[in-house]
């Protein structure tokens, strides 16, 4: 049984926990402090407001421990705001965790009222088309050498992986499909074999 944590300080926490419950061999765990962080095998940083989450990570003394766990090989998946927090570089602002070699543009698709759904093929994740929910979504506008592009859209890159790090500009937890959660669980299981 792999223990996958969901950072539980802001954002779509309950939805991620619900999707993880549907994946065989996964025990979802709420992560609110360093003790919770030390007991998990992988971490999801959910959407929300990246600046607010970043400040709370500082306030709860979680920023450095998360960086350290990433350096130690723990898989981390950032969705929407989580992607911004993972990025090495964010246009027009300082990075937060900064562990993934991507450059991100905030609100690339516009404001909340410009939110939308689309159906896309993401071959690395599923052999059937997936529904994707974009809410005030960021986009990846640059990648380093070790970054694998999983989904490209007209605006740029909407999903990418770098080793044990996964980033999506959309919200898979807001659909009824758990393909991305199963994909991340397989990354976590893979990392535990090393």
Q: How far is CA 119 from CA 11, 116, 128, in A?
A: 23, 10, 10
DSSP 178: -
Tokens coding 34: 């360093």
**Is 171 a known active-site residue?**
yes
3-state helix, strand, coil in the chain (%, to 5): 30, 30, 35
Q: Which residues of the chain have pLDDT under 70?
A: 108-114, 194
**Is 173 a known active-site residue?**
yes
DSSP symbols for 138-162? -EEEEE-TTPEEEEEETTEEEEEEE
Among residues 15, 16, 173, 181, which one is catalytic?
A: 173
Helix runs in 73-169, H state only:
81-86
Residue pair 180/161 in contact (Cβ under 8 Å)? The answer is no
pLDDT at 193: 84
pLDDT, tens digit (0-9, with 9 covering 90-100), for 100-138: 999 999 876 655 555 788 999 999 999 999 999 998 889
pLDDT at 79: 96
Residue pair 166/78 in contact (Cβ under 8 Å)? The answer is yes
**Is 148 a known active-site residue?**
no
Q: In whole angstroms, what is the distance from residue 17 CA to residue 193 CA?
A: 24
Q: Enter the pTM of the model.
A: 0.95
Among residues 80, 91, 94, 190, which one is catalytic?
A: 80
Among residues 120, 171, 181, 190, which one is catalytic?
A: 171
């Amino acid at each position: 049984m792999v223990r996958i944590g969901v950072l539980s300080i802001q954002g779509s926490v309950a939805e991620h926990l619900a999707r993880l419950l549907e994946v065989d061999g996964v025990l979802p765990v709420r992560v609110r402090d360093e003790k919770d962080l030390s007991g998990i095998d992988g971490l999801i940083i959910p959407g929300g407001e990246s600046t607010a989450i970043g400040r709370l990570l500082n306030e709860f003394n979680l920023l450095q421990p998360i960086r350290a766990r990433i350096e130690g090989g723990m898989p981390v998946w950032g969705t929407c705001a989580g992607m911004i927090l993972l990025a090495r570089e964010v246009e027009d602002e300082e990075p937060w965790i900064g562990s993934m070699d991507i450059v991100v543009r905030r609100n690339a698709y516009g404001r909340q009222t410009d939110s939308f759904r689309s159906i896309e093929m993401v071959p690395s994740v599923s052999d059937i088309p997936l529904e994707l929910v974009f809410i005030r979504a960021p986009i990846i506008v640059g990648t380093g050498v070790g970054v694998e592009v999983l989904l490209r859209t007209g605006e740029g890159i909407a999903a990418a992986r770098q080793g044990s790090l996964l980033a999506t500009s959309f919200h898979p937890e807001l659909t009824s499909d758990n393909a991305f959660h199963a994909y991340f669980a397989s990354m976590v299981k893979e990392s535990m074999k090393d």
